[in-house]
A and B are shown apart, each in its own frame.
Chain A
Amino acid sequence: MKHLRPLNQKASRIAGQTARPDEEDVVALQNAPQRPLRPHIPMGCSLSFSPGWEVDSAGGTAGLCQPVERDIYDCYVTCFWPAQVPDHLNNYPNWASKCAAATKDWRNLDLVFP
């Protein structure tokens, strides 16, 4: 250490650690080691809570906080659910390619016949 002078035993131990030349590694495209204790962040629609899809505060669909069409993509991209939408991973990767904005282009989504 050049700029910090360790003055107690704990500081000396830190100085010993940081003196290792391999400390600053390139981490791009490289996952950090997974520790069992890493906080678990659940993924997938069944664990996410987005209120205001089905009905708005008046019991209708006019004032939903998200467009109803948003439903489609919640099963198509963010979390594939084979019973409801085509499988975008292997067989129908282009199913939604003509539908840039679901609220406008939803008519372009067609049925699929496996």
Chain B
Amino acid sequence: MTAAETRVYKLGEFHPFSAGSRRFLYLVPAGAIFELDAAAQSLIDRLASREASHDQLVAELTAPGFAATDAHELIAELYQSRVIVAGDPTVGAVYDRAVIDRTYSCDDAPTDFPLQTLVLNLTNQCNLSCQYCYEFGSDKVATPNGKPKFMDFETAKTSVDFLLDQSAGRRSVHITFFGGETLMNFPLLKQVVTYARDRAAGQGRSIDFSMTTNATLLTPATIEFLSENRIGVTVSMDGPADLHDKLRVFANGRGSYDVIEPRVRALIQNHRTRPITARVTLTSGVTDVIRIFRHLKNDLGFHEVGFAPVTTSPNRLYAINDRGMDQVLEQFHVLADEYLEYALRGEMHGFSNVSDTLSELCQGVNKSHPCGAALGLVGVGPSGDIAPCHRFVDSDSHALGHISTGIDREKQRDFLRRGHINSKYDCHTCWARPLCAGGCHHEAYVRYGDTGHPNLHYCDWIRDWTDTCLRIYGAISVHNPEFLRVFGERKALS
């Protein structure tokens, strides 16, 4: 008797979905996506209501005329890929090192994970006073008192050296310029680009750059520099004037739309080397996703537009309530359908929320942590303090060391242990965990006071959105698989 014949099978952990008449599954422990043929589907349907032994399954499959050898083969294929699993759950588990790690350890993040990205907060000063700002608003974690307001060149140089030193083995690394308002320290940005390029070239490596800005200070000269140096630009912008000006205001309360509109147009027209992205923060009253998207994509001409609900404690006036979130999601669905139509024609639609998820689905990511913070990415504040990411910059309680002395490994380990998917028990039964992994550390801190707390307030929303993107992925892979190749290559080589 072979081992197979003694097994009692049940369904493994997967999320089924369909697109048109085709049926798919998202295999949760792996992050793999498979399309099922009719035979596989019928086997899964049989196991949906009850467990079945090998012999039972073979008998049921062969009854309608399926050959016995084919039935054995089908069962073996589904078993080996863990779409179905057999009786004793510990048997599979103990042989599989990865499963052991996932089951028992929160420490399996490699401690020598080389850096990939450094976010340089060139300044913590800003010329706008957006009410929801996580750096200055009511939920801020930053404690900037007594610290430098602008980064100096020495700190920036040390940071670049630190990045190159700590990213050994990576062919290409990345610097993101951030603020405050990044362009308030544009002279330093220019110096850093020159310095970092030289240093990287000296080591035979490449370095690229991106930045986030509120666009108020863009001039023809800055745009020319950004374009010439292939610096990717993300503009924080919340839509047409009536929506944008609600919260994105100057200190005197005046909206910033009129100031940035001509500058944004000039940026998109003259910066031709990298796609220009808009990043929209959704707040209570600013949830008109479709109108915002149309304005930013069609009227202004952004290449990509991405949306995220504001990070906030739930009682703030600008927090979106559940009904508001449902409306947002409804509109996301409309844009997602549109995205699919574009994709089937081989065109880019520009709704980043879909592209970003497709990209992760394409690779089949299975995250131990929600993002690269404190792993491949760290933020550096004007003072040279190292933070898990730009959102924690200038916060004493979250600092992970200083650029002159390096990363405090003990603090880093603590941050990573708390943020690890294994320490988030609520997530263990969720099928969307390979992509979400509990969600943003900073959002968790603002909501729950702990960076390692799962973001339970948006679970339903994440599952719905992941399911939507899976269905888009399935449909594209059937009707226009060529389209997905872009995503396969997008992050693969970094």
Residues in A lying within 8 Å of B, measured CB to CB: 1-11, 13-15, 17-18, 23-28, 32-33, 35, 37-39
Kindly provide the distance from the CB of A90 to the nearest chain B CB, expressed in whole angstroms: 33
User: In the complex, which residues of chain A have a beta carbon less than 8 angstroms from the beta carbon of B83?
Assistant: 4
Nearest A-chain residue to B74, judged by Cβ: A3
Q: Which of A4, A11, A26, A37 contacts B100 (CB 8 A)?
A: A37
Pairwise interchain contact B81-A26, C-beta atoms closer than 8 A: no
**CA gap between A35 and B98 in the complex, in Å:** 12
Say yes or no for B488: interface residue by CB 8 A criterion.
Answer: yes
**CA gap between A113 and B296 in the complex, in Å:** 97
Say yes or no for B55: interface residue by CB 8 A criterion.
Answer: no
From B2, B31, B34, B78, residue with most partner A Cβ within 10 Å: B34
Pairwise interchain contact B1-A11, C-beta atoms closer than 8 A: no
Kindly provide the distance from the CB of A47 to the nearest chain B CB, expressed in whole angstroms: 19
**CA gap between A5 and B91 in the complex, in Å:** 27
Known pairs A23-B80, A27-B3; A10 contacts B35 (CB<8 A): no
Report the stretch among B36-44, B278-286, B458-466 that lies at the interface.
Answer: B36-44
**CA gap between A33 and B100 in the complex, in Å:** 14
Known pairs A1-B77, A2-B77; A8 contacts B32 (CB<8 A): yes
User: In the complex, which residues of chain A have a beta carbon less than 8 angstroms from the beta carbon of B30?
Assistant: 10-11, 14
Known pairs A18-B81, A32-B95; A24 contacts B35 (CB<8 A): no
User: In the complex, which residues of chain A have a beta carbon less than 8 angstroms from the beta carbon of B473?
Assistant: 7-8
Pairwise interchain contact A10-B363, C-beta atoms closer than 8 A: yes
Q: Which of B34, B37, B363 contacts A9 (CB 8 A)?
A: B363
User: In the complex, which residues of chain A have a beta carbon less than 8 angstroms from the beta carbon of B2?
Assistant: 24, 26
Q: Mark B75-103, 1 if CB is under 8 A from A, else 0.
A: 01110110100000011001101001000
Nearest B-chain residue to A33, judged by Cβ: B95
Known pairs A32-B94, A32-B95, A37-B97; A8 contacts B77 (CB<8 A): no
Say yes or no for B218: interface residue by CB 8 A criterion.
Answer: no
Pairwise interchain contact A14-B81, C-beta atoms closer than 8 A: yes
Residues in B lying within 8 Å of A, measured CB to CB: 1-4, 24, 27, 30-37, 39-40, 73-74, 76-78, 80-81, 83, 90-91, 94-95, 97, 100, 104, 361-366, 473-474, 477, 488
Nearest B-chain residue to A26, judged by Cβ: B2
Pairwise interchain contact B77-A7, C-beta atoms closer than 8 A: no
User: In the complex, which residues of chain B have a beta carbon less than 8 angstroms from the beta carbon of A39?
Assistant: 90, 94
User: In the complex, which residues of chain B have a beta carbon less than 8 angstroms from the beta carbon of A38?
Assistant: 94, 100
Kindly provide the distance from the CB of A87 to the nearest chain B CB, expressed in whole angstroms: 33
User: In the complex, which residues of chain B have a beta carbon less than 8 angstroms from the beta carbon of A27?
Assistant: 3
Kindly provide the distance from the CB of B83 to the nearest chain A CB, expressed in whole angstroms: 7
User: In the complex, which residues of chain A have a beta carbon less than 8 angstroms from the beta carbon of B24?
Assistant: 7
Nearest B-chain residue to A1, judged by Cβ: B77
User: In the complex, which residues of chain A have a beta carbon less than 8 angstroms from the beta carbon of B94?
Assistant: 32, 35, 38-39
User: In the complex, which residues of chain B have a beta carbon less than 8 angstroms from the beta carbon of A26?
Assistant: 2-3
Q: List 16 A-B contacts (CB under 8 A).
A: A2-B37, A3-B36, A3-B78, A4-B35, A5-B37, A6-B33, A11-B27, A13-B32, A14-B27, A14-B32, A18-B80, A26-B3, A28-B3, A32-B91, A32-B95, A37-B104
Pairwise interchain contact A8-B33, C-beta atoms closer than 8 A: yes
Pairwise interchain contact A11-B33, C-beta atoms closer than 8 A: yes
Pairwise interchain contact B31-A7, C-beta atoms closer than 8 A: no
**CA gap between A3 and B34 in the complex, in Å:** 9
**CA gap between A6 and B477 in the complex, in Å:** 10
Kindly provide the distance from the CB of B469 to the nearest chain A CB, expressed in whole angstroms: 12
From A9, A27, A28, A35, residue with most partner B Cβ within 10 Å: A9
User: In the complex, which residues of chain B have a beta carbon less than 8 angstroms from the beta carbon of A3?
Assistant: 36-37, 39-40, 74, 77-78
**CA gap between A18 and B24 in the complex, in Å:** 19
User: In the complex, which residues of chain A have a beta carbon less than 8 angstroms from the beta carbon of B78?
Assistant: 3-4
Pairwise interchain contact B100-A7, C-beta atoms closer than 8 A: no
**CA gap between A38 and B27 in the complex, in Å:** 25
User: In the complex, which residues of chain B have a beta carbon less than 8 angstroms from the beta carbon of A15?
Assistant: 81
Contacts beyond the supplied A8-B361, A38-B100: 19 A-B pairs with Cβ under 8 Å: A3-B37, A4-B77, A6-B32, A7-B24, A7-B34, A8-B31, A8-B362, A8-B473, A9-B363, A10-B30, A10-B33, A10-B363, A10-B365, A11-B27, A14-B30, A14-B32, A18-B77, A28-B3, A35-B94
**CA gap between A23 and B81 in the complex, in Å:** 11
Pairwise interchain contact B3-A7, C-beta atoms closer than 8 A: no
User: In the complex, which residues of chain A have a beta carbon less than 8 angstroms from the beta carbon of B77?
Assistant: 1-4, 18
Kindly provide the distance from the CB of A6 to the nearest chain B CB, expressed in whole angstroms: 6
User: In the complex, which residues of chain A have a beta carbon less than 8 angstroms from the beta carbon of B363?
Assistant: 8-10
User: In the complex, which residues of chain B have a beta carbon less than 8 angstroms from the beta carbon of A37?
Assistant: 97, 100, 104
User: In the complex, which residues of chain B have a beta carbon less than 8 angstroms from the beta carbon of A28?
Assistant: 1, 3
Pairwise interchain contact A10-B366, C-beta atoms closer than 8 A: yes
Q: Which of B4, B34, B80 contacts A6 (CB 8 A)?
A: B34
Known pairs A3-B74, A26-B2, A37-B100; A9 contacts B40 (CB<8 A): no
**CA gap between A28 and B5 in the complex, in Å:** 12
From B76, B81, B95, B477, residue with most partner A Cβ within 10 Å: B81
Nearest B-chain residue to A32, judged by Cβ: B95
Nearest B-chain residue to A30, judged by Cβ: B3
User: In the complex, which residues of chain A have a beta carbon less than 8 angstroms from the beta carbon of B477?
Assistant: 7
**CA gap between A75 and B8 in the complex, in Å:** 37
